[in-house]
Copies of this chain bind each other. A is one copy, B any other.
Amino acid sequence: MKNYSIAKSRRLRSTPYTSRIEKQGVTAYTVYNHMLLPAAFGSIEDSYHHLKKDVQVWDVAAERQVEISGKDSSKLVQLMTCRDLSKSKIGRCYYCPIIDDNGNLINDPVILKLAEDKWWISIADSDVIFFAKGLSAGNSLDVKILEPRVDIMAIQGPKSFNLMEKVFGKAIKELKFFGFDYFDYRGTKHLIARSGWSKQGGFEVYVENTESGQDLYDYLFEIGKEFNVKPGCPNLIERIESGLLSYGNDFDNNDNPFECGFEKYVNLDADISFLGKEKLKKIKKEGIKRKLMGVYIDTDKINLTKSLNIKDDRDNFIGDLRSACYSPHFKKVIGIAMINEPYCKASTSGLLEIEGNSFTVKVCDLPFI
């Protein structure tokens, strides 16, 4: 597998932490919301083991915010998602599929309710801001839409709780999952949520005061030695094992929320208005024709850079593999695939061809762990 360089430019925006992670040994980047997102610090497998055991600090500034405020802000936010937000509370995060007019997915952000008339949509990799601007202009809504200067750093891993307690005191441990509050660091208030793109536990600091955030970043490494803190980034192996889906990888604007296992976030019976509602009712009634599933692949290495077709033993297409990695836990390759009816049920078998070699694929339910 040949490596290619990333050609940096202003268009692939740096973060306030970029110079730090480059000193700390980042080796690979991906691009996410037009921004650099670290993808590796050397071995992804070493980083996976460390993340499951200790604690990591991640530069995830590429999780940009779309801030929607003003009189009609709740109306606009609801219009964009099929999840019922009518009973949502200030201080809580909500995982919300964003849906277009066809009932297909545009993004799967976490939405933070900051006030009755102020929201942050913490987005996956697509320009939700322009969807919001188009919808708002088209509906003549009274809202203000902008990308605030917020650069998230995540603290993830089982020891994140003790590390964060050392900085912010006991109160931070009482934060409930998907709750957020403001915590003081040397005189600056930071919005901190108990959330993050791993299943190992942890926090996300929504840094608005850049200087204080950079100082906090350094401080976490200073005082974190006893917890074996290391720099890290969203980990391909950990996220696939945990079944954390990725917009653009596992699903995109050609897929609907039922195909992606998001049923519990689709509130068709609620008395709310959102785009694609009638389309989703129709899809639900007719039933889906394919579904995101897990797969075990009978090999011990893979480097997936695009979809690969999965076929049955008579060479019929049964689905496409969208993410994959070698799993140290299962000691084989696992992946996430969009599998057609009637094959999308656990224990179905298929075949995957990689560079001329054929491997057995076994379908399973998500998540793996």
Contact surface of A with B, Cβ cutoff 8 Å: 2-14, 22, 26-31, 34, 39-40, 100-101, 106, 125-139, 147, 246-249, 253, 275, 303-307, 322-323
Contacts and interface: CB of A to CB of B under 8 A. Distances in A.
Contact of A304 (B6, B9, B28, B306): B9
Contacts of A13: 306
A131 to B, nearest CB: 4
A102 to B, nearest CB: 9
- Which applies to chain A's interface (DSSP): helix, strand, loop or mixed? loop
A132 B89 CA distance: 31
A22 B129 CA distance: 34
Contacts of A132: 134
Q: Which 10 A-B pairs have the closest CB atoms?
A: A138-B138, A134-B134, A11-B248, A7-B39, A127-B127, A130-B131, A134-B135, A31-B31, A8-B305, A5-B28
Contacts of A246: 11
Assembly stoichiometry (copies): 2
A31 B106 CA distance: 19
B125 A11 contact: yes
B136 A101 contact: yes
Contacts of A128: 130
Contacts of A39: 7
Contacts of A7: 28-30, 39-40
A129 B253 CA distance: 10
Contacts of A248: 9-11, 34
Contacts of A3: 5
Nearest to A303: B8
A54 to B, nearest CB: 23
